[in-house]
Amino acid sequence: MPMIYKLLPMQTIISQVTTGAHTTLRLFSRQLNLSSLRFSSSKATLKPKSPPTKMVDYRLMHIIRDIPTLRTHRRNLLRSNLTVGLVPTMGALHEGHISLVRAAAAENARVFVSIYINPTQFGVSEDLSTYPQTWESDLAQLRALDAELAETPGMGRVDTVFAPSTKAMYPTLPPDSREDGVGSFVQITPVGGILEGKSRPVFFRGVATVCMKLFNLVQAERVYFGQKDVQQTVVIRRMVKDFHLDTQVMIVPTSREEDGLAMSSRNVYLGARRRAVGVVLSRALRAAEEAYVAGKRSRDEILAAAWNVANQVALEQDALAPEQRALFEVDYISLADPDTMEEIEAVDERKGAVLSGAVKMLPLEQIQPGEVLGQGGDVAPVRLIDNIPLEPR
Ligand code: AMP
């Protein structure tokens, strides 16, 4: 179709092309430099001297909610020889999630992001019903990233957001979160039962089960997980190996706030006071890492550095008045083998180790007038986790 450019107030001309199930917005970026246009007549109709210099392909992301559509779409990509990277999430996306999508786009032609709050990984008394949901913002972030990727040579695209219903994900029985609950589950032991698994007994069973479902559905060449949830990465790697799943598990470093707090969807529960004290965990782990870097290898020496920080902050908070303090409890601080997450007495420097920890930020005892509160009003405890890999030396 011949294109005639008329004098337009904008610098862009957008045409919409529909090809089968896929709608594509093509945006022809043009520097409308008047010297590159010639007037064809006194009617001021402009024609370009040369065709558009740059064509950027702004596809609309597929938003898929049902399994047959997902499978058909995946099959089409396979026929086109396009590789797929999967980023499983529970939504409430932040920079940490986006870094996973970016990593996936660097290594795959198409990225699928799943957004699904999986009920079976929440214990019966956990925050399933209040877990943050920010669907519009999630889509906006993914679209913005995709627009950026479209302009970056060599990068893949954010192709699909898979947001299934629970009925689709658990087709036979309603999901059951009780420890002795019934259903079809994947259980990875012993790693799923220690550390986080001790505090949250159904958590890794739920994670492994939903990831097995997602991996079966998406058939991705690569799956992307955050270092932030280190024990989860060990569980997933083990599952992929033991069940011969044909995918590669890729781990992306932890994204942090400026003061070191690991980004997390649950940080929205922290008002200003608990947020400020919540950085204690990353500070404690950082101190232990420094001990390792300084040459310490024994468990006692490395973990003492972490406990010194945690105890110091706890004492400072204890000394404050109830309307000023944010109390917390350390659930655990661990020095573990990176392949099994089992506790070790000393770091084998050829293998390295994982420092990890969890703290429970307790509800505020007294709220001050005008105080900046988190989602939910800082009345429920919030569990924060973090880790630092100690690299082999
Ligand atoms: P979630 O939505 O919390 O289940 O997380 C989805 C994925 O994002 C998991 O693989 C997490 O490990 C990863 N993730 C969450 N927070 C971060 C972060 N701060 N840095 C890197 N990855 C993260």
What are the tens digits of pLDDT across the range 239-290? Answer: 999 999 999 999 999 999 999 999 999 999 999 999 999 999 999 999 999 9
What are the tens digits of pLDDT across the range 191-225? Answer: 999 999 999 999 999 999 999 999 999 999 999 99
What are the tens digits of pLDDT across the range 291-338? Answer: 999 999 999 999 999 999 999 999 999 999 999 999 999 999 999 999
Given a cut of 50, is residue 8 above it in pLDDT? no
Residues 6+ apart with CB under 8 A from 261: 267, 275, 278, 279, 282, 384
pTM of the model: 0.87
Which one of 3.40.630.10, 3.40.50.620, 3.40.50.410, 3.30.2130.10 gives the CATH number of domain 62-252?
3.40.50.620
Atom of ligand 1 minimally distant from the CA of 90? 2
d(CA 389, CA 344): 14
Residue from 209, 206, 226, 216 nearest 247 by CA: 216
d(CA 49, CA 35): 9
What are the tens digits of pLDDT across the range 216-246? Answer: 999 999 999 999 999 999 999 999 999 999 9
Total Cβ atoms within 10 A of residue 55: 11
**Which stretches within the chain are classed as H helix?**
67-79, 95-107, 135-150, 166-169, 196-199, 203-218, 230-242, 272-278, 280-293, 299-318
> What is the three-class DSSP state of 167?
helix
Listed by start position, the domains of the chain span: 62-252, 267-390
Confidence of residue 59 (pLDDT cuts 50, 70, 90): confident
d(CA 352, CA 160): 37
Q: Residue 225 Cα, ligand 1 centroid: separation in angstroms?
A: 7
Mean pLDDT, rounded, for 101-125 = 97
What pLDDT shows up at residue 56? 64
- For the domain covering 267-390, report its CATH number: 3.30.1300.10
The verdict on whether 244 is a catalytic residue reads no
What are the tens digits of pLDDT across the range 21-52? Answer: 333 343 333 332 333 333 333 334 444 455 55
Q: Find the residues whose C-beta lies inside 6 A of ligand 1.
A: 89-90, 96-97, 99-100, 225-226, 228-229, 252, 254-255, 262-265
Q: Residue 226 Cα, ligand 1 centroid: separation in angstroms?
A: 5
Q: Residue 169 Cα, ligand 1 centroid: separation in angstroms?
A: 21
CA 237, 205, 330, 89 torsion: positive or negative? positive
d(CA 355, CA 333): 7
62, 73, 94, 97: the catalytic one is 97
Mean pLDDT, rounded, for 149-174 = 97
The tokens 């290898």 sit on which residue?
297
